[in-house]
Structure 1
Amino acid sequence: MSTTTQAPQAGSTRQGVEPPARFDWMQVVRHTLFACLCGVVCGFASIVLCLFVWAARHLFERAPWLIWLLPVMGVVQLLMYRWWKLPLNLTTDAIIEKMRAGDHLSALLAPGILFSTGMTILAGGSVGKEAGALQIGASLGTTIAKPFRLHNILRCENHDDAYEINRYIASTGMAAAFSALFFAPLGSCMLVLELMRFTQLQYVTSMLIACFIAFLISNHFGIGDVINAVPVPAASWRIIGVCIVIGIAAAMAGSVFAIAIRLLQALTMRIRHNYFVWVIVSGLLFAVLVTVFGWWRFTGSGGEMLNDVLNMPDLSADFAIKMLLTVLCLGMWFKGGEIMPAFCIGGLLGSACFAMTGTDPLFGAALGSICFLAAFNRCPMSAVLLGCEIFGWSMFPFLAVGVAIAFLFGYPVGMYGASIDVLARSGWHRFFSNIRASVASNEVHDDAGFIDFVMAAGSALQHVAGSAMIAAQSEAIREQRRRHRHQDKDEHSAEHKIR
């Protein structure tokens, strides 16, 4: 049962009324300094990650026999995580769930995922470093914020904002590291906002400051994921049809990719809850498949393959091979990222769609990589922004159509759970109805204006974010209930077999 507290009238002496929020200028300064420092540190951390992974990849290319050490690398990763008291199943998905819950992240997560990603790529594993950059940024943001003693800029007495601040500092670091890696500050900021279900809107200024500083640092040194641009065709109904076809294909493939990884992880834990066994099995199986079938070019993150297909058309079904090897690595608990492999798979798929569309396969590869990402992680707005920052803003109309189709036709739960889908289910009509109600109320008193509309929109967004959190919690509760029902059924079937 909830109660609403109304503001007292003039001269009222009612007790128990909460004091209004106080604007803290000192916190504004602290937040700004934190954002600047976070951008600098995460920018250089992204450069270190790139150099470390590039060195590991070049070493593997000179010594391909290292692929037989992949099971050993997996065991070493798990031992390192156990030594540093990090959960052995700590994936990017798990980190994002911790951030949504406002949990504190370990400072050892950054070196842990750095070394683990390098070890997997050193042995030829089909993983990327981009999701690793997300984890590194979240860990560094949490660590950097400690001396700043950050609180909400609008301070309320007796209000604990620890969980909110934990989400904010991790989100800022995550966005900054990703921005430095892809040279895409706008798309990176939007990606984290979507992953956090827009609960961090009030901190978007700090996040953008950190993103642009990290971007400037990586851009100055020229170290990051450089993806080749492609020629953009003139707009026509035929090209729009191509965008729709590639969007549908990316929706199907991206959904299968995300479901396959999550399903394989759940299946391995259902069969035997031992991560060491599964990295050994998958490492050996991966090495055998690559050696027997000669799939050497499918090892690694796939960044080189993506640039190759953006320069030279690839009309084969190679995207299925890359998807299989990536699912095998990530689904069986090797450490690493899934974003660059997703770009690579989408690029190969978009190029292969040339057989159906008959258009420029290079344009199809660029469009397919972004559409596949949107279907895979369920973050459409960031996918469009990333695509524009990578391939040029002239791609915007085609990306908007393709990504919209991929998002609409894709499975509603992606690799990182439901992101903007939860916000949509929580009811955008609340947002617009709150704005209309507030403006209509002020029009009665003849004092509605632009500033009033902006304030009403901000208040409505807070209501939407709150309802999104409630929807996310309800979704988690439903998922737990489904798991309990499955466990009960398994127990009953086991008892029946014993009898």
Structure 2
Amino acid sequence: MKKIKSRYEHIIILKHLLRWSLIAIPVAAIIGSVVALFLWLLETATSFRWAHPWLLFLLPIAGVIIYFSYKFSGKNAEAGNNLIIDEIHKPGGGIPFRMAPLVLITTVITHLFGGSAGREGTAIQIGGSIAGFFVKKFKLNKEDTRILLMMGIAAGFGSVFGVPLSGGIFALEVLTVGKITHKALLPCLIASVLADIACKSWGIHHTAYFITFKDTIVYTAKFIHFDLRLLLKVVMGGICFGLASYLFSELCHTIKNYSNKFIKTKWLIPVLGGCLIIVLTYILGTDSYLGLGVSNPDPNSVSILTCFKAGGAGYFSWFWKLLFTAITLSMGFKGGEVTPLFFIGAALGNAFAMITGAPVDLMAGLGFIAVFAGATNTPIACTLMGIELFGGEYALYYAVACFTAYYFSGHSGIYQSQRLAFSKLTAEEQRGAKDTLRELRKERLKGKKWKA
């Protein structure tokens, strides 16, 4: 460790923050602006699909276009978010700049023709790609490269959802399960805040969600300032949310692995995936599970917004969205997982509330953030997201739901390049080749035991 005279410490800290603030301004401004363009294109594509439902029948063709776009232009950009996480852990190969336009265009194509996908993955790849471009321009060393790439993740995530605080923490927490590094704490927060400002300055508005439930507490003891029975329901809900996260992650990886194993002509994978989405849509008789799922012009449909109301979702709406999204993203289409995870969680929370008598909007909100927390192994960022989206009145319930879901999602996740610093079962630090979730899953499927 480099020795620093104590009297110069604060001057060095000030110089460090000023340097990264100056770097963050152009990086965040560009990322926020590109994310704004992406969100506008996404909204336009979704509205056009609603007006022309026959576009769904072209989804298999859209899948072929996406496949060949990556085959001839994508190269290592196909790895997506995992490539960015790998590059932060071991800088070397770099993030290709073509990742940003490629994922933006192919995600819009996915949504235009009815694929069930989200937007977070695209925003993170946009942020990582643009940050990677600046890494080359600034000729940064490996340590500074890591920080700038983390800033790219923070800027993309914070601006796409309008949650700058969560975006800054997410970029730090998502890299390693069980460990948060503080070396880029303020740079990530600055980048996330500036990107969010840049995005909103283009007139982009994010969906507003509300929890109108008001807690009436019957005190059983003077020192208990929350509804104990409701808290127990939140714990049970958190277990369900964690298991749903596990199911989603495992189903995505399973579909992808078996598709590539048994379908030798690779461009046929998205064709089959598109056909499955069409068939399922007509079997269920609804387009509720296509696209983002945030809202829908059909008053009889299920969406994230309707999940906050009693009767706004069926008991199995969460499962259908989970299945649609797993097929879409595992069989060659592009987009993120997070907004569908919001849908899955909100719909599961709605069903859980209807069964247990818990407040519907509260449980929908808890599912919204907790399923995401379990699937990405980021319970702290998701707790903060709950505060940013729904207000801080029920922060305790947010934390309990997210932390419980995190544990019950097991050693799985949608980002297979995540490192495992500490097991969820013990406090023992992990070492060796099993550091990534990808390696852990391989060993689990082979039936091997690994040190928990």
- Residue of structure 2 in register with 1:223 after alignment: 204
Q: Which residue pairs with 2:230 in the alignment?
A: 239
Pick one of 147, 155, 159 that aligns with 1:168: 147
Name the structure 2 match of 1:490.
none
Which one-letter code corresponds to 1:208 in the other structure?
L
Residue by residue over 1:390-425, the C-alpha shift from the partner in whole angstroms, topping out at 9 and shown as x without a partner, is 111112111111112212222222111385852457
The answer to whether residue 239 in structure 2 is matched with residue 248 in structure 1 is yes
Residue aligning to 1:136? 126
Correspondence for 1:99: 88
Distance, in Å, in 1 between the alignment partners of 2:304 and 2:190 is: 30
Q: 1:389 to 1:342 in 2, by over 3 A?
A: same
CA distance in 2, matches of 1:366, 1:404: 15
Query: CA RMSD, aligned part only?
Result: 3.0
Q: Summarize deviations over 1:72-93 as a string: whole Å, max 9, x none.
A: 1111112222232424742434
Alignment equivalent of 1:207, drawn from 188, 204, 215: 188
Change (3 A) 1:472 1:344: farther
Cα deviation, 1:125-159, whole Å, max 9, x if unaligned, reads 00011221111111111113333333xxxxxxxxx
Structure 1: 5+ residue stretches without partners: 8-21, 151-160, 430-466, 487-499
**CA distance, structure 2, for counterparts of residue 295 and residue 96 of structure 1:** 37
1: distance between equivalents of 2:70 and 2:335?
Answer: 13
Aligned AA (1:36): I
1:207-356 aligned at under 5 Å gives the runs: 207-234=188-215, 235-304=226-295, 305-311=303-309, 313-316=311-314, 317-356=316-355
CA distance, structure 2, for counterparts of residue 370 and residue 285 of structure 1: 28
Structure 1 pair 95/419, CA: closer, same or farther in 2 (3 Å)?
closer
Between structure 1 and structure 2, the one with the greater Rg is: 1
1:296 CA drift (Å): 0.9
SS in 2 for 1:228: coil
Q: What SS does the aligned partner of 1:405 have?
A: helix
Is the CA contact 1:195–1:420 (under 8 Å) kept in the aligned structure 2? Answer: no
Report the residue type matching 2:276 in the other structure: L
How many Å separate the matches in 2 of 1:116 and 1:6? 46
| Mapped contact 1:74–1:280 kept (Cα < 8 A) | yes
Aligned residues: 419
- Aligned counterpart, 1:83: 72
Distance 1:85 1:347, change over 3 A: closer
Structure 1 residues 94-149: Cα deviation after superposition (integer angstroms, max 9, x where no partner): 44334333241000000011001000000000001122111111111111333333
Q: Secondary structure at the match of 1:326?
A: helix
Change (3 A) 1:309 1:475: closer
What does residue 359 of structure 1 align with? Answer: 358
Residues 203 and 426 (structure 1 numbering): CA distance in 2 closer, same or farther, change over 3 Å?
A: farther
Seen in structure 2, the aligned counterparts of structure 1 residues 475 and 354 have a Cα distance that, compared at 3 Å, is closer
Quick one: distance in 2 between partners of 1:254 and 1:477?
16
1:409 alignment partner in structure 2: 408
Structure 1 residues 394 and 147 mapped into 2: Cα distance closer, same or farther (>3 Å)? same
1:366 and 1:338 map into 2 onto residues whose CA distance is 17
- CA deviations 1:183-214 (Å, max 9, x no partner) are 21111111111112257521221111111111
Aligned equivalents of 1:138, 1:275: Cα separation in 2: 27
How far is 1:476 from its partner?
7.0
Deviates more, 1:387-396 or 1:475-484: 475-484
Task: Indicate if the aligned counterparts of 2:147 and 2:187 stay in contact, CA closer than 8 A.
Answer: no
Query: For 1:484 and 1:231, how far apart are their aligned partners in 2?
Result: 44
Counterpart AA for 1:54: E
Distance 1:481 1:122, change over 3 A: closer
What CA distance in whole angstroms lies between the structure 1 residues aligned with 2:2 and 2:79? Answer: 45
CA contact (8 A) 1:311 1:362 kept: yes
One-letter identity of the residue aligned with 1:140:
I
Residue number in structure 2 paired with 1:191: 170
> 1:109: which partner in 2?
99
Alpha-carbon distance change, 24 to 226 in structure 1, aligned in 2, over 3 angstroms: closer
- Contact residue 55 and residue 113 of structure 2 kept, 8 A: yes
Contact 1:315 1:354 in 2 (8 A): no
Q: Within 1, Cα distance between the matches of 2:246 and 2:123?
A: 23
Contact preservation (8 Å) 1:379, 1:419: no
* 8 Å CA contact retained: 1:250, 1:406: yes
Pick closer, same or farther for the CA change 1:63–1:476 going to 2, 3 Å: closer
- Cα distance change of structure 1 residues 199 and 380 upon mapping to structure 2, 3 Å threshold: closer
TM-score (norm: length of structure 2): 0.84
Against the structure 1 CA distance between its residues 146 and 25, is the aligned structure 2 distance closer, same or farther, given a 3 Å change threshold? farther
- What displacement does 1:273 show? 4.7
Take 1:475 and 1:243, find their aligned partners in 2: how far apart are those partners? 30
Q: Is the 8 A contact 2:74 2:102 kept in 1?
A: no
